[in-house]
């Protein structure tokens, strides 16, 4: 019972912190407006570790690699702690197990990124009907624009209703359930 409780706490805190780091990376990468409550919250939660990491891990082509590396390391630490709680021993094939651990952490980051896109698309769609002039609307638009624009070019509006959010949500859900789940199962078998 205690191991399950600790596992829940570790995965919850680890995923939330990795989500904050990944959201910070995505907001910078997509050049989202920085003057909003969500950006301020993300920076306040992650600044204590991102600033020192930037001294060690430089950016590349405008990407904040320190933030992305910290998100990945958070996922690695989380998976490792959960495996330790479950009594997993790495054994003689420690190199393969570490590679599987690294792959699982990367796949978990991809899953979190897809969830960020899904939530942003859903919130933007709802806000466009309820309150299109909400202060968070420009932030959501900057997050969803790279994903919605290509779909909007392929799927025309039907009766002045934009179906691109629905297509993006279905595509993200398919990516989460089919290839990501298969890759995670494959990496899990390597452990």
Res 180 pLDDT > 90: no
> Which residues span the domain enclosing 81?
2-190
The domain total for the chain is 1
Provide φ and ψ at 124, rounded to 5°: -65, -40
Query: How does DSSP assign 112-158, residue by residue?
Result: HHHHHHHHHHHHHHHHHHH-TT-TTHHHHHHHHHHHHHHHHHHS--B
Task: Quote the pLDDT of residue 102.
Answer: 92
**With bands split at pLDDT 50, 70 and 90, how would you rate the model's confidence at 77?**
very high
pLDDT of 103-124, one tens digit each?
999 999 999 999 999 999 999 9
Element (H or E) spanning 58, and its range? none
pLDDT digits (tens, 9 = 90+) for 19-50: 999 999 998 888 888 788 888 899 899 989 99
Give the residue among 82, 34, 117, 47 at the shortest CA–CA distance from 188: 82
């Amino acid at each position: 019972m205690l191991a399950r409780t600790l596992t829940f706490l570790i995965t919850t805190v680890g995923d939330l912190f990795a989500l904050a780091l990944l959201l910070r990376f995505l907001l910078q990468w997509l050049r989202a407006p920085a003057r909003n409550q969500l950006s301020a919250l993300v920076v306040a939660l992650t600044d204590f570790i991102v600033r020192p990491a930037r001294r060690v891990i430089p950016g590349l082509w405008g990407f904040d690699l320190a933030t992305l590396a910290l998100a990945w390391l958070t996922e690695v630490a989380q998976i490792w702690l959960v495996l330790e709680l479950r009594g997993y021993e790495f054994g003689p094939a420690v190199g393969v197990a570490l590679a599987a651990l690294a792959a699982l952490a990367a796949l978990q980051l991809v899953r979190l990124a897809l969830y960020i896109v899904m939530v942003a698309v859903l919130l933007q769609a709802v806000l466009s009907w309820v309150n299109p002039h909400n202060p968070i609307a420009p932030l959501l638009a900057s997050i969803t624009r790279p994903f919605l624009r290509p779909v909007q070019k392929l799927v025309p509006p039907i009766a002045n209703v934009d179906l691109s959010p629905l297509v993006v949500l279905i595509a993200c859900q398919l990516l989460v359930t089919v290839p990501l789940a298969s890759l995670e199962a494959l990496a899990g078998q390597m452990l």
